[in-house]
Homo-oligomer: A and B are copies of this chain.
Amino acid sequence: SFGQGAIPSAESHLLLTQSGRDLYTELAKRSPKALTQIEKMKRNLAELIAQPLQVPLPKDAGGGYTHEQHKANQKAIFEAGVLYKLTGEDKYAEHCKQLLDAYAAMYKSLPLHPEKKEQTPGKLFWQSLNDAVWLVYSVQGFDAIKSYLSPVEREYLKTELFEPYVHFLSVDGEETFNKIHNHGTWALAAVGMAGYSLEEDDWVQMALKGSAADGSGGFLNQLNQLFSPDGYYTEGPYYQRYALMPFVVFAQAIANNNPDLEIFEYRNGILIKAIYAAIDLTYNGHFFPINDALKEKNLTTSEMVFGIDIAYKETGDPRLLSIAAYQGSFAPIDAGFETMAALTKSEAIPYDYNSIRFRDGKEGEEGGLAIFRPYSANSKDDAALIYKYTSQGMGHGHFDKLTWLFYDNGNEVIRDYGAARFLNIEAKYGGHYLKENNTWAKQSIAHTTVVVDEKSHFEGKYKVASAAYPTEILYDVSEPNLQVASAELAEVYPGVKFIRTMALVQDEAFEYPLVLDLFEVESEEAHQYDLPLYFNGQFIHLNSPIQAHQNQLKPLGNAEGYEHLWNLGEAQANAELTQFTWLLNDRFYTWSSQTDSDDKLILVELGAHDPDFSLRNERGLVLRTQSEGKHYFLSALETHGTFDAKNEVTVNASNQILELKLITRGAEKIIQVMTKDSGIREFKIN
């Protein structure tokens, strides 16, 4: 099926069509300011057109010259195509054509990339993933200039570039192509979109159903397997964002060319759910950094711009327009022009971030992720509690079972390290994931969850971890003042079961929403349990005397992430309640946890065994208890007070909680909280 087809027609089949051009023309008249980014694109192209083409032989790894140049070219091909489609000016089409021709001239003779990465080498790039991405963009450029090209030119590009390229991705790269994995999605999208544009239905069918066309691979199968029924992508928000791009652009191409497939309705509208999920998986625009995740990523990335615009085109939901407004840009495709046209008519309404729980697993039965937001949250600075009881999330997953994150006042307050990686920075291990990503970021001690005997969950074994997943016991947000979720997981360690219950409470005794946390550990054996708290901010007060290691620091342990933590100081815990207060910007946070005097508190700082000084020197507080076996940690996090540096006023620097108790009353499990000013408050958590 490579090369038997006819010469491609002059017609465009992909994401930018006459409809987009008409909207562009209308906007140019009615609201030219809305097209600033197109004007910028024109200026960039003018510069590029003035320079000689640079289509080097592939040589460098990620971040290196040829890598970046081929990425720049893929962008230029795409944008030149867009500009030709919008303006009809030949200079753009000519630039696009010349670039494509240059690739066509060399493509067939290219060997695998000299810096090939692991098992999935590319040709233009070190890994085939990048090659697939290149094609997704470049074929859109081609599609936009088809009418400019003569039939001979179209045929030339087809036989010299697109056919061998599709062959490389789908035949040489068959394993990736059929894999139920995000790398596969890019390959499918690339081949499928090439199929539509080059009018090769075989390519489309392979992309939809896998190269064996038996349903073991392919796009539809990926839609079945890679998202949970709630639209959650099992690798987590960072990769959910990244994964969306090939899904939504290919889906848009399918919708345009095979409306009969009703792709956006497929599996109860799973793709649209996934786009909304990506929005809900953010705080202040930034994705929750669970699993391997770089914290810089936010809703303004181009994947999300394409995603939001395509979802808006499909749904007409005016809340999406407020996200588009936040993004400040649109995708230069039909959907993007529709979104921008609606924005200029002031049709946006705010996106309402509500509490929501995403089930994980393709059937939704492999745990989940609960996001609690205060009832009637009305600002991006409001609190958010994230309780993670998802499955492992494939190879980028962390050993962080039943962990949590907390945001408030625009900031990370209780945080996850995310990934240890300097993306695209050559000097830092070539921009790859650092070895510290394995030795630190993935380890259990890097997370605010219980660590038994200084070992990571499931012995840090990916296969064992992947076979297990938490079971949700409860998720209830029907009472807005007491939102609660509970999940359990057996055999996190041999014979050790975790049950964690977390709640976000709004109660008159507290100035801000209160977090409650009951972490039950069931075991027959005696163990050491560590519960770290990765707080963000400046140490203000701990209610038991802490001995700082003032003159010498040693790591907290030898392995499984402990070797990366400096032990800054230790305290014997208070016999009743440990209380730790820190300051972050203008608010105080106090963590209270039931302790007894045998428990230990260890203040730690990241940075030991870090020969290249790659780790951020963040701090945490570890609560350590030696237990006969069964144990529970009962904790609460209060947000309180104001440190107003401008007016030099500090209020409520001290917190409300005096005592925490777990009591049962019949079948009810209740956390009893003694407060300073409002007596005893009770919160039922089951």
Contact = CB atoms under 8 A, between A and B. Distances in A.
Interface in A600-649: 603, 605, 607-614, 616-617, 619, 643, 645-649
A464 interface: no
Contacts of A619: 617
Contacts of A68: 649-651
A617 B614 contact: no
B645 A540 contact: no
Contact of A613 (B300, B424, B603, B607): B603
A608 B566 CA distance: 12
A613 B549 CA distance: 10
Q: How large is the interface on A (under 10, 10 to 19, 20 to 34, 35 or more residues)?
A: 35 or more
Contacts of A548: 610-613
Interface stretch (A314-322, A342-350, A425-433, A509-517): A425-433
A297 interface: yes
Interface string A563-598: 000101100000000000101000000000000000
Contact of A540 (B422, B566, B643): B422
A266 interface: no
Given A647-B302, A649-B71, A613 B569 contact: yes
A552 interface: yes
A555 interface: yes
A46 interface: no
A541 interface: yes
Interface string A514-551: 00000000000000000000000011110000101011
A8 interface: no
A676 interface: no
Contacts of A581: 427
A424 B551 contact: no
A356 interface: no
A680 interface: no
A270 B540 CA distance: 41
A569 B583 CA distance: 30
Contacts of A646: 296-298, 300-302
A568 B553 CA distance: 11
A411 to B, nearest CB: 15
A423 interface: yes
A626 B425 CA distance: 35
A355 to B, nearest CB: 28
B649 A424 contact: yes
Interface of A: 63, 68, 71, 294, 296-298, 300-302, 422-428, 431, 538-541, 546, 548, 550-555, 566, 568-569, 581, 583, 603, 605, 607-614, 616-617, 619, 643, 645-651, 653-654
Q: List 10 tightest A-B contacts by C-beta distance, closest first.
A: A296-B645, A539-B613, A553-B553, A424-B650, A427-B541, A548-B611, A550-B609, A427-B540, A617-B617, A301-B646
